[in-house]
Amino acid sequence: MQLQEVLYSQGFGTRRVCAGLIQQGYVQVYDSAEDGLARNCTDAAAQFEAPGLRFRVRGVDWPFCDKAYLLLHKPAGTECSQKPSTYPSIYTLLPSPLRTRPQKAAVQGVQAVGRLDQDTTGMLLLTDDGKFIHRMSSPRHHVPKVYEVTVKHPLDDSQMARLLTGVVLDDDPKAVRAAACEAVSPLHLRLTLTEGKYHQVKRMLAAVGNRVEGLHRSQIGGLSLPQDLAPGQWCWLWPAQLALLAPA
CB atoms within 10 A of CB 124: 24
Residues 203 and 169: beta-carbon distance below 8 Å: yes
In angstroms, the CA 121 to CA 102 distance is 28
The SS3 call for residue 229 is: coil
**Predicted local confidence at residue 139, as pLDDT:** 75
Domains of the chain: residue spans and CATH? 3-63 (3.10.290), 69-139+236-245 (3.30.70.580), 144-220 (3.30.70.1560)
Residue-by-residue pLDDT tens, the chain, 248 positions:
999 999 999 999 999 999 999 999 999 999 876 667 899 999 999 999 999 999 999 999 999 999 999 999 999 999 999 999 999 999 999 999 999 999 877 678 999 999 999 999 999 999 999 999 988 988 778 899 999 999 999 999 999 999 999 999 887 788 899 999 999 999 999 999 998 888 899 999 999 999 999 999 999 999 999 999 999 999 999 999 999 996 65
Collect all residues with Cβ–Cβ distance below 8 Å to 182 and sequence separation of at least 6: 189, 190, 191
Round to whole Å and give the CA distance between 117 and 80: 8
Region for residue 58 given its phi and psi (left: phi exceeds 0; alpha: psi -120 to 50; beta: otherwise): left
Nearest-angstrom CA–CA distance, 181 and 193: 9
According to the model, what pLDDT value does residue 33 have? 60
Contacts of 246 (CB under 8 A, 6+ apart): 132, 135, 136, 141, 143, 221
Distance between CA atoms of residues 45 and 29, nearest Å: 13
Decide if 71 contacts 246 (C-beta within 8 A).
no
What is the full DSSP assignment across 65-96?
Answer: -SS-EEEEEEPSS-BSSSS-SSS-BGGGGS-H
Catalytically annotated residues: 117
Listed in sequence order, the residues at least 6 apart from 83 whose beta carbon sits closer than 8 Å to its beta carbon are: 89
Return the closest-CA partner of residue 109 out of 91, 85, 122: 91
Give one word for 11, left, alpha or beta, with left for phi > 0 and alpha for psi -120 to 50.
Answer: left
**Is 156 within 8 Å of 208 (Cβ atoms)?**
no
